[in-house]
Amino acid sequence: MHNHEKPLAAILAETKEELKQFISTRVEIFKADVNERIGVLKRGIPLIVGGAIVLLTGWLVLTFALVALLHTALISSLYSWFWAGLIVAAAYLLAGGIAAWLGYKGLSATGMKPARTLEVLKQDQIWIQNEARGQ
């Protein structure tokens, strides 16, 4: 053994400490990603709920107005209220289906995965593979 070589116990201790720092750094990156996502949700959800309540109220009043308008436009019959309601419901179902589909597409495009953490882990994997090939 040469004088400038470290004892095996010292090398193992250094490796253990580096591994602890490595894992700790990755955990902190993950926590930061998750906390950022949670912060976005905490700010957005109350606004969405409040807006939904106001929109629902307006929607119900608008629905009644549209049904009443169609009722007066239809030939007066025993079923004119029914047909007016059915026409408005069909229009709402179509519009709602399109809106829900567009919203789903928007959410699925963004995703909630921790992108920075995954990117750092991919870089780590490449680095480890290069280090393994080098030895």
- Residue 1 in any domain: the answer is no
Q: How many structural domains does the chain have?
A: 1
**What confidence tens digit (pLDDT) does each residue in 35-51 have?**
888 888 888 888 899 99
Domain extent for 35: 8-134
Would 92 be classed as within a structural domain? yes
Decide which of 88 and 114 is more confident: 88
**Residue 120: per-residue pLDDT:** 84
The Cα angle at residue 51 between residues 86 and 40, in degrees rounded to 5: 130
Task: Indicate the SS3 state at residue 78.
Answer: coil
Average pLDDT for 17-34? 89
Amino acid at 80: S
In a 10 Å sphere around its CB, with 0-12 CB exposed, 13-18 middle and 19+ buried, how is residue 26 labelled? middle
pLDDT > 90? residue 119 = no
Q: Would residue 3 count as lying in a domain?
A: no
Res 135: pLDDT: 59
Q: Which element (helix H / strand E) includes 80? A: helix 80-110
Residue 122 lies in a domain: yes
Residue 81 lies in a domain: yes
DSSP class of residue 22? H
Would you say how long the chain is, in residues?
135
Among candidates 32, 92, 37, 22, which has minimal Cα distance to 63? 92
* Mean residue pLDDT across the chain: 86
User: pTM of this prediction?
Assistant: 0.45
* Interval 52-92: pLDDT, tens: 999 999 989 999 999 999 998 888 888 889 999 999 999 99
